[in-house]
């Protein structure tokens, strides 16, 4: 019998479950694997032998999972040490796969998850272990290298652009409207903040300034720009990334409880909008400053998910199954854009070692010379990814029908 295992890792996205659904549906249609297991809480849970059985999900359940946000199998922020430092973790992982007669492992995740794919596949290769290990990309941050973009980003971008448009309209109802600051996620890159440029009225962006981590933040220039536009319009709309840094590379705002870092060693950020609000008020420009920190809604807002993004994530899961059946291991599924409008793409394989521990930054040439906006090239790149209403099933009281995997119904052998 052939069996496979799938798990999720890192921060959720609105469409991360669509990739799991893609694996399940492709197998249901073609019967490559006799059984499919799910790993609860990623590699961390698998090492604790926390597995559930997924093969009994029917097509209706798979379809509902496809349109369910967050990580249905749970997630983790667990970085494997090298095999030299911690051989027991690798030995345990492959013993568990042997115990359940699993020959293929799919890992849906971002940068650190691809590090796990690279390490596990490398260990298998070095020890002549006949197991296939493939990575399926996800991240709203859009920071994986060597792929055009990442599943999850398009939906987050659509939510940000829509929220920008709606809050802009809300913030312009008075004769003196003050200043509105929207803060997006984006620890290291500005892709999410940049997507606010897609919010337009009469084909003109509603945002006045967009600040990204790729350009050092200059407080004095910022205040001069804001004051100038405020005097002209009595209203300024600003979008900022949480990862803004000064000329010395220091984050403008860094939360420091419990060491101030997650389990991957990443700084926990937030509050940049509040910091900028204080700068503006202290400078005397105006006391009418409102802020909105979008927070986790960016990674779970299925109600604003792009159908392009959902179908792409779903198809990436299907592609992973077919690549595994063909015998590939140690790769991540990459996305290659073949046309903008109409948007078209195909998949290809990227060695996971060429993805992990690298960051794809927002291109500097797509940032305006003034450093406070993005160019037409950025708009051209972003626009196709947010298209299409999704097809979420709605229940009798008007709410989405989401699917919940029973994480406590563990398989035992």
d(CA 17, CA 6): 11
d(CA 136, CA 131): 16
Residue 346 burial class via C-beta count within 10 angstroms: exposed 0-12, middle 13-18, buried 19 and up: exposed
Beta strands in 130-274 (DSSP E): 132-137, 178-184, 200-201, 204-205, 209-211, 235-241
Which candidate, 47, 54, 33, 102, places its Cα nearest to that of 80? 47
d(CA 195, CA 184): 10
Does the annotation count 141 as an active-site position? yes
d(CA 52, CA 38): 5
Beta-carbon contacts of 174 under 8 Å, excluding residues fewer than 6 positions away, are: none
Which candidate, 166, 163, 133, places its Cα nearest to that of 333? 133
Helix (H, G, I), strand (E, B) or coil at 39: strand
Among candidate residues 115, 141, 188, 208, the one labeled active-site is 141
- Chain-centroid distance, C-alpha 127: 33
Residue 281: how many CB atoms within 10 A of its CB?
Answer: 14
d(CA 2, CA 382): 40
Beta-carbon contacts of 373 under 8 Å, excluding residues fewer than 6 positions away, are: 197, 207, 209, 210, 367
Look up residue 253 and give its DSSP letter: S
Q: What angle do CA 89, 92, 96 make, to 5 degrees?
A: 140
The catalytic residue positions are 141
């Amino acid at each position: 019998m052939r069996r496979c295992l799938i798990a999720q890792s890192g921060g959720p996205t609105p469409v991360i479950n669509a990739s799991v659904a893609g694996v399940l549906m492709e197998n249901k249609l073609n019967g490559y694997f006799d059984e499919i297991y799910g790993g609860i809480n990623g590699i961390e849970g698998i090492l604790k032998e926390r597995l559930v059985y997924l093969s009994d999900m029917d097509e209706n359940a798979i379809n509902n999972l496809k349109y369910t946000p967050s990580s249905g199998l749970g997630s983790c922020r667990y970085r494997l040490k090298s095999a030299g430092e911690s051989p027991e973790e690798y030995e345990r992982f492959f013993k568990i796969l042997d115990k359940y007669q699993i020959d293929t492992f799919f890992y849906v995740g971002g940068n650190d998850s691809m590090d796990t794919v690279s390490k596990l596949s490398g260990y298998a290769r070095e020890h002549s272990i006949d197991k296939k290990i493939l990575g399926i990309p996800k991240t709203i941050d859009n920071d994986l290298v060597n792929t055009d973009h990442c599943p999850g980003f398009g939906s987050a971008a659509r939510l940000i652009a829509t929220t920008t448009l709606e809050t802009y309209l809300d913030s312009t109802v008075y004769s003196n409207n003050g200043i509105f600051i929207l803060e997006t996620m984006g620890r290291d890159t500005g892709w999410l903040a940049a997507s606010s440029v897609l919010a337009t009225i009469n084909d003109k962006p509603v945002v006045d300034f967009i600040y990204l981590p790729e350009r050092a933040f200059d407080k004095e220039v910022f205040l001069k720009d804001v004051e100038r536009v405020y005097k002209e319009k009595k209203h300024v709309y600003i979008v900022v990334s949480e990862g803004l840094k000064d000329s010395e590379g220091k984050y403008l705002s860094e939360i420091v409880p419990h060491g101030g870092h997650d389990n991957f060693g990443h700084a926990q950020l937030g509050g940049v909008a509040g910091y900028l609000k204080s700068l503006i008020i202290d400078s005397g420009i105006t006391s009418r400053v409102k802020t909105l920190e979008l927070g986790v809604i960016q990674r779970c807002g299925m109600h604003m998910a792009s159908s392009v993004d959902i179908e792409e994530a779903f198809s990436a899961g299907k592609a992973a199954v077919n690549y595994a059946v063909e015998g590939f291991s140690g790769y991540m599924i990459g996305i290659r854009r073949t046309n903008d409008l109409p948007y078209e793409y195909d998949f290809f394989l990227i060695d996971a070692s060429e993805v992990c521990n690298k960051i794809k930054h927002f291109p500097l040439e797509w940032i305006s010379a003034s450093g406070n906006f993005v160019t037409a090239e950025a708009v051209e790149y972003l626009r196709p990814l947010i298209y299409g209403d999704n097809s979420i099933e709605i229940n009798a009281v008007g709410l989405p029908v989401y699917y919940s995997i029973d994480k406590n119904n563990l398989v035992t052998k």
